[in-house]
Structure 1
Amino acid sequence: MSALTLHTGAMFDTATRFRAVAIAEAFSWLGLLVGMFFKYATDLGDLGVKVFGPIHGVVFVVYLVVTAFTARQQRWDVWTTGWALVSSIPPLATVVFERWVLRTGKLDPIAARRTI
């Protein structure tokens, strides 16, 4: 395997990594919301919050870091980067944002092959 193949493969992972983390962030948010529902609306306890709280916290921070790297690599403008970061706050908005950047071509696997 040549150095070019390794380099291209690693750069291609930027778009895939962003998509995976965006989806994981949305599902961890959803898990936390379900856990909070069971904690506050029922007498089933707070196990869901104890499990999904830390998971969501870690995935949230990973999403912010991956978004910063992706924004730089994909050469997103300030508004696109800002929307990417803001989308981490409302539940499931990272999936909506991820679909939008794919549809508009702002998350381009070909562009991900460029070096920073």
Structure 2
Amino acid sequence: MDLKTASAIRRLRLISVPEGISWIILAVCTIIKYTITSSVDVARILGPIHGVLFILYVLFWLDAWNRAKWDKKTAARYFAYSVVPGGGLVAERRLRREAEDAVIVARARKEGVVNA
């Protein structure tokens, strides 16, 4: 994995966690807003914040897809994580595992353990 690909995946990982957390909080605040009459509308404040995080996630996802040369199934899976509340947390965990595996393979190639 080259440096630009690793950077693109790292950016996607870094935005995944706040995007996933903001999605969960926004969903909870929206449910509270419509079930409990409250004078405080947190969803009105958190909505635009989550919107910006979602847009950043999509931009970073497109960059990672382009650089990592994911197949359509993998790209669709990582996009779907952005739509599911808390899915960004799952995406971060999977991306971290893939990056760690890539480092292990690169080290093995460098040491001559793997021929490829």
TM over 0.5: yes
Deviations 1:13-71 (A, max 9, x none): 32321111111110110121121122112122352110111111111111111000011
Please name the residue that 1:49 is paired with: 43
Structure (1 or 2) with the greater helix fraction:
2
Question: Which secondary structure does the structure 2 equivalent of 1:87 belong to?
Answer: helix
- Residue in structure 2 matching 1:31, options 13, 25, 37: 25
2:81 corresponds to 1:80: no
Q: Which runs of 5+ in 1 are unaligned?
A: 1-7, 111-116
Please name the residue that 2:55 is paired with: 61
Instruction: Give the Cα–Cα distance (whole angstroms) in 2 for the partners of residues 86 and 107 of structure 1.
Output: 23
Q: Do 1:87 and 1:97's aligned partners in 2 also have CA atoms closer than 8 Å?
A: yes
TM-score by length of 1: 0.73
Question: How many residues end up aligned between the 2 structures?
Answer: 103
Instruction: Give the Cα–Cα distance (whole angstroms) in 1 for the partners of residues 103 and 3 of structure 2.
Output: 10
Q: Do 2:8 and 2:64's aligned partners in 1 also have CA atoms closer than 8 Å?
A: yes
Counterpart of 2:86, as a letter, is L
Please name the residue that 2:110 is paired with: none
Instruction: Give the Cα–Cα distance (whole angstroms) in 1 for the partners of residues 103 and 60 of structure 2.
Output: 15
Instruction: Among all aligned residue pairs of Structure 1 and Structure 2, give the percentage whose two residues are the same amino acid.
Output: 26
TM-score by length of 2: 0.73
Question: Which secondary structure does the structure 2 equivalent of 1:45 belong to?
Answer: coil
